[in-house]
Structure 1
Amino acid sequence: MKKKLLLICCFLVNIPFTTSQNTVGTISITNAVEEGYTLFTNHTEVFLINNCGQVVKQWTSDFPPGNAVYLLENGNILRAGRTSSTDITFGGQGGVIELFDWDGILLWRYFYDTPQHRQHHDVFPMPNGNILILAATVMTDTEAIQAGRDPNSLPDSELYNERIIEVEIVGFNQANIVWEWNINDHLVQDFDNTKDNFGDVSASPEKLDINFLNGGSGGANWLHINSIQYYPNLDQIVLSSRNLSEIWIIDHSTTTAEAATSSGGTYGKGGDLLYRWGNPQSYRQGTEIDRRLYGQHYPHFIDDGLNDAGKIILFNNGNGRNPSFSEAFIINPPTDAPGVYSYTPDTAYGPLSTDYNYLDPINPQDFFSNILSSAQRLPNGNTLICEGANGRLFEIDTNENLVWEYISPVHNISGLILTQEDDPGTIPNNTFRAIKYTPDYPAFLNRDLTPGNVIELNGNLNPCDNLDVNEFEIANISLYPNPVIDQLYLSGSSEVNSYILHDVLGNIVREKMLDAQSINFSSLNSGIYFLRLRSDNSSITKKIIKQ
């Protein structure tokens, strides 16, 4: 949070002051941090915190994470929870999807949890109000063998198919399934020519080899998809298979019937894989030397208006790599047309190298999370990283300087809250993912964002109190008149050199350098806008009413 809010925070919240280094909560912060609010979930709680670690909003569920959580544009919270079911169990298990309003009222609770299917890891809020749900379904050993699985690679005597369903919310606890995709409709094998899906694995990159185990045991949870993210620009879904160390892209424009085939949809390939990357051994177009991913999480297209928009960012965990270290990747899949990915037969999908790769700048092995985690590109060019296994959230600028660091003080199993100066390494404070929302995000319109206490006990605001006082210069800008008809004037704006104007839906209306002490609003429609003013190392957002 910028200094303009920090001073207010100090008066609003009575927090004991100490001079020691924080061990949990906000560890460090600089003026270059992106202004905004970070969302994450631990135990049964969902927290929305400012950059000082103060809770701006908190939601409580009856269920621990299962695992994803999102803040919707209308202020609602979409969250997956973990039930006590033991029918389908593995890391990331869920079973229930919940929708809460801004005030914490439960609006909808839908169980997708039976002996034959169970939600896990991720859900996704669609632009039309529907919800994508990731689920595992059970294939018996007979079904798996008929699909071409080597019987010697069935130690659990069953196999989990991975399914995505899109549901329409009905009432308080019901849903209509309006679309479905299953990976078991897109398999290939060359093990047994008397069984289904027999073909040439190396010539079928659009299919998944049911016998590729990536060095694993072949257990029921052989794929372990841990993320589904939708990209509306292309109407495509990005998936992450942790156990196979691959990301996949599929077409969402198909009907359910087409999604079970290899034809139909915008891209003409039905539900087959449109693109895959990270481990070309899976379709026999490379060796271990060509492998780039190791148990990755949260691959997604970077949104419009951000640096590297349209490229894919992900957290590469490094699980199973020797030596072990994590990194954040950005790749730019080569295309022949928008959403049509370039491929040359008998080769691996490109690119050969990443467009961006963050490692710990001093010792790569000091940055390592074998599970969970995420990376997110922010409007000011910074990158927010969640080092999930350690409950550590941190933000780096474009020069990879650390500009914000936060350690979750919440015991992920019991909900125990640490006291400041406790060692966070003594508890499991695992954090699945963290997402930052800027102040102009529509969910915050007309909301009370008064900061409360920090999460940790005996907390303090030392890191924020020590911010450079120069931040006051951009924080104390005067804008007038507001409401505005034609010209909006800036006073005390010597630090400001550019601005971005958003509408209430978050769309960029204008982005340009500031070449005068005023901004012309005369051509804009009446309504509410959010004006982000930028200096060389900071930014601030103001709400503007255009009459």
Structure 2
Amino acid sequence: MTIDDQTRRRTTKTGLTALDRDRACPGYTLYAPMNGPGDVYLLNLDGEEVHHWSMPDPPGLYGYLLPNGNLFYGGKLRDEMWDRFQSWKRFKGGVMMEVDWDGNVVWEHRDIDHHHDARRTESGGAIYLTVELMPEALAAKVKGGNPITGENGMWADVIVEVDASGKRVWEWHAAEHLDPERDIITFNDSRDEWSHGNTVAPLPDGRVLFSFRNISTVGIIDKASGEIV
């Protein structure tokens, strides 16, 4: 380790910096450097590397350790939609895959509109976040946000569920259920997006949990009716 590396570690406090074994939650930590090429690490409580996956694509953005020990990973693809709007490339995905302990792909699904989060479902498919371009008339009614942004239109989230074969079995369009008068974009966020979904997760009894950053909203959707409950 060079002197520069030692200085950086000391000032940025990388590696294990604190451990109160009696109070720490037991278990493992799964992470991937956000700007890395696709290295995923599983660490134990002592900060030691238990396992490492080398994925074919950079993170885009989330991943989870599944009950069977496999990794479910969202990857970032540099495709024809790379410059869709100003901030899109920071959080876009494009591919979600389940890999086993040795990195072998056991399931993969691609969607050019995918971003941020995706979760495996009990049926063997996945539920995930995508975006769609809103009609100009509706976008004009949405309040809030930085007024000098949004030159490429306004986008809203679509939550998509696919089965094990990749066939769409359910989708929910945020723009059809949000209220332009009430669901106001926070003042410091861009008008490129109305909702900006951060996470989505299936719940029991046919419900779906979501989080929309730009309108500071966490909610639950009833899949049968599409209503936010």
Q: TM-score if structure 2 supplies the norm length?
A: 0.80
Which amino acid is 1:230 matched to? P
- The CA distance in 2 between the partners of 1:67 and 1:148, in whole Å, is 26
Alignment of 1:432-471 (within 5 A): none
Does residue 214 of structure 1 match 2:180?
Answer: no
Pairwise CA RMSD: 2.6
Work out which of the residue numbers 130, 134, 152 in structure 2 matches 1:135. Answer: 130
- The CA distance in 2 between the partners of 1:90 and 1:100, in whole Å, is 24
Work out which of the residue numbers 161, 164, 168 in structure 2 matches 1:166. Answer: 161
Displacement after TM superposition at 1:184 (Å):
1.7
Does residue 70 of structure 1 match 2:64?
Answer: yes
Change (3 A) 1:103 1:215: same
Displacement after TM superposition at 1:251 (Å):
1.3
1:27 maps to which residue? 17
Structure 1, unpaired ranges of 5+: 1-19, 190-200, 202-207, 255-269, 275-547
- The CA distance in 2 between the partners of 1:249 and 1:68, in whole Å, is 20
2:140 maps to which residue? 149
Does residue 238 of structure 1 match 2:214?
Answer: no
Displacement after TM superposition at 1:151 (Å):
9.2
Q: TM-score if structure 1 supplies the norm length?
A: 0.35
2:108 maps to which residue? 109
Note the alpha carbon deviations across 1:98-126, whole angstroms, 9 max, x for none: 1111211122332211xxxx111100122
Change (3 A) 1:39 1:157: closer
Higher relative contact order (CA 8 A, sep 6+): 1
Does residue 250 of structure 1 match 2:214?
Answer: no
| Secondary structure of the corresponding residue to residue 158 of structure 1 | coil
Which amino acid is 2:19 matched to? I
Does residue 41 of structure 1 match 2:12?
Answer: no
- The CA distance in 2 between the partners of 1:61 and 1:217, in whole Å, is 32
Note the alpha carbon deviations across 1:13-47, whole angstroms, 9 max, x for none: xxxxxxx9793211121221232211112221111
Displacement after TM superposition at 1:183 (Å):
0.7
- The CA distance in 1 between the partners of 2:47 and 2:157, in whole Å, is 37
1:50 maps to which residue? 44
- The CA distance in 1 between the partners of 2:176 and 2:102, in whole Å, is 42
Q: Is the 8 A contact 2:127 2:159 kept in 1?
A: yes
| Secondary structure of the corresponding residue to residue 169 of structure 2 | strand
Note the alpha carbon deviations across 1:120-171, whole angstroms, 9 max, x for none: 11001222322101111223xxx231x363499673242212111111122x
1:224 maps to which residue? 196
Structure 2, unpaired ranges of 5+: 1-8
Q: Is the 8 A contact 2:196 2:214 kept in 1?
A: yes
| Secondary structure of the corresponding residue to residue 169 of structure 1 | coil
| Secondary structure of the corresponding residue to residue 32 of structure 2 | strand
